[in-house]
Each structure stands twice: as structure tokens, then as C-alpha cells.
Amino acid sequence: MSFEWVSYFTCEECGLERPSAEVPYDRLGYAVCPNCGTETRPAAPTATDASTLADG
């Protein structure tokens, strides 16, 4: 048995879900929602959260 990991694109605007391979991309490499045309932007960098780094 083989398992292929398929990443899904999910549109923040309309909630459309499509396999990433079926989603068009703009010239910058961002996925573009085929339904509403919203570009997927990289998530904003989050501040370092050390809440889980406490020493035992």
C-alpha cells in the first residue's frame, strides 16, 4: 500500500478546498483561489514563543 501525502489549499475568503496541484499559482508562487481569486499569502511571522521550552 502506498500513501501519498496530498497538501490541500484552503481559501481563507470563501473556504474552498482543492488539492494544491489543482490550484493555479501567480508569478510569485502564491496559490490563487480558483473560486474567488484570493491569493494565499505566507503567514505573518510570529514572535518567538518560549512557553513550551521550560526546563524540566
Q: How far is the CB of 17 from Zn ion (least distance, A)?
A: 10
* Cβ atoms 37, 29 nearer than 8 A: no
Closer CB to Zn ion, 36 or 42, in the complex: 36
Judged by CB under 5 A, does residue 26 bind Zn ion?
no
Phi and psi based region of residue 28 (left: phi greater than 0; alpha: psi -120 to 50; beta: remaining): alpha
**How, if at all, do strands 17-19 and 8-10 pair?**
antiparallel
Q: Which stretch binds Zn ion (CB under 5 A): 2-10, 19-27, 34-42, 45-53?
A: 34-42
> Which residues of this chain interact with Zn ion, rule CB under 5 A?
11, 13-14, 16, 33, 35-36, 38
